[in-house]
């Protein structure tokens, strides 16, 4: 397991959220990192869908016109 470099950063967070997190014994820094990681993942997925929309549509059009390429081998 590698140790990631850390960068101190000031974040302005709702006092109510911090108080509730502390009362529940949550690791606020860990929760913030997880939230940022999820936001990054969601944004990358959103951008990928936009960048690949034409190819996705072409594939959907092909399937609509010709059906699934290996449909005759399906067991269900």
Is 36 a member of any domain?
yes
Residues with Cβ within 8 Å of 74's Cβ and at least 6 positions away in sequence, in order, are 68
Q: Are 31 and 21 in contact (CB under 8 A)?
A: yes
Look at residue 2 in the predicted model and tell me its pLDDT.
58
Please tell me the pTM assigned to this model: 0.72
pLDDT digits (tens, 9 = 90+) for 32-51: 999 999 999 999 999 999 99
Q: Domain residues for 59? A: 15-67
Domain membership flag for residue 58:
yes
Structure-token pair, residue 11: 């974040």
- Domain presence at residue 54: yes
Q: Determine the Cα–Cα distance for residues 63 and 54; give it in Å rounded to an integer.
A: 14
């Amino acid at each position: 397991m590698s140790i990631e470099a850390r960068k101190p950063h000031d974040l302005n967070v709702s006092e109510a959220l911090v108080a509730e997190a502390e009362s529940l014994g949550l690791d606020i820094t860990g929760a913030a990192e997880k939230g940022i990681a999820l936001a990054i993942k969601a944004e990358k997925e959103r951008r990928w869908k936009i960048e690949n929309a034409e190819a996705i549509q072409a594939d959907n059009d092909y399937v609509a016109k010709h059906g699934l390429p290996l449909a005759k081998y399906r067991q269900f």
